[in-house]
Amino acid sequence: MADKSHEGLKWIMRAGYGARGAIYLLIGVLAFLAVFTAGDAEGSKGALEQLRAQPFGVWMLWAIAVGMWAYMIWRIIAGVVDVEDKGSDAKGIFARIAQIVTGLIHGVIGVSVATLAMGTGGSGGGAEDWTGRVLAMPAGRYLVGAAALVLVGAGIYYAYKGWSGKYKAHLARNEFTQDMDLVLKFGLVVYGAALALVALSLLYAAINANPQQAGGLGQALNSLRGMTYGQFLLGGAGLGLIAFALYNFVEAVYRIIPKVTKGDIPTLAD
């Protein structure tokens, strides 16, 4: 790839991670504030709806939508061209396919955000709505169950990535990233746990063929409130998602792309 293409890819990557961080910052702040109010924690859709009601909210939504599409482009290029040097063995091919799939998912999220920005999002589009549509299909319960298992796997992956420190290998080491290391670890573990909670609700919905049991991130967060020490759990989850947002912002600035980044840059793993 030419140098100009390298620089363009870096900025696409940065826009993508930045937009992703903005969404989880919103969700995390609202979840943490819900500890002190009678209101509910919000998932991504609810958080973005609240953002739309703010001054310049529509413009912010468009910025996030474009960022999501940038993330999609980044992940697809990473998977196809293998700029992160995953390799061509079975493990590498699987990792590259996963990059492409996650990119496409974020592209769909971008479309949803753009639709909300245009004011045509409607009241549907939540986890319950989409689960109901899938359950109505032939073999719908199996499809929802498979999606739940994939989401469980993603949750375990993120939690493991944080706990084991695997994320350190592609982040540049400097004073800031070293100081924030424990925060980044905390954010990844909490995000993984949150995905597992969402997956559990989807699994219940598949087993019982009941879309009302399916919930997104907002429902997963609110379920914490009903547990023992629920307010502390909800507050911790909110802080964890804020930490995960910071992780995305750090990725945007300090991520090392093996086949693009020039020079021998020390990583957090060194």
Question: How is the chain split into domains, by residue range?
Answer: 3-254
At residue 51, the pLDDT reads 85
Please say whether the beta carbons of 96 and 86 come within 8 A: yes
Closest by CA position to 258, among listed 172, 161, 162: 172
What SS3 state is found at 228? coil
pLDDT at 1: 46
Enter the pTM of the model. 0.87
* Residue 85, CA distances (Å) to 92, 219, 259, 268 in order: 8, 37, 7, 18
> How many residues comprise the chain?
270
Q: What pLDDT is attached to residue 172?
A: 93
C-alpha closest to that of 112 among 53, 12, 44: 44
CB atoms closer than 10 angstroms to residue 3:
9
pLDDT of residue 122: 47
**What letter would DSSP give residue 212?**
G
Element (H, E) at 43: none
Ranges under pLDDT 50 in the chain: 1-2, 122-124
Cα radius of gyration rounded to whole Å, the chain: 19
Those residues whose C-beta lies under 8 Å from the C-beta of residue 52, and which sit 6 or more positions away, are: 58, 61, 116, 117
pLDDT at 70: 93
Q: What is the pLDDT, as a whole number, of residue 201?
A: 85
Residue type at position 118: M
Q: Side chain identity at 237, as an amino acid letter?
A: A
CB 72 within 8 A of CB 15: no
Q: Which residues pair with 255 in a beta bridge?
A: 171
Cβ–Cβ under 8 Å, residues 19 and 63: yes
Query: What's the pLDDT at 126?
Result: 61
- Listed residue (78, 72, 83) closest to 17, CA to CA: 72
Give one DSSP letter per residue of 142-184, joined into a string.
HHHHHHHHHHHHHHHHHHHHHHHTGGGGGBB-SHHHHHTHHHH
- Could you give the C-alpha distances from 233 to 36, 76, 148, 217, 245, in angstroms and in order? 13, 36, 23, 14, 18
> Is the Cβ–Cβ distance between 170 and 84 less than 8 Å?
yes
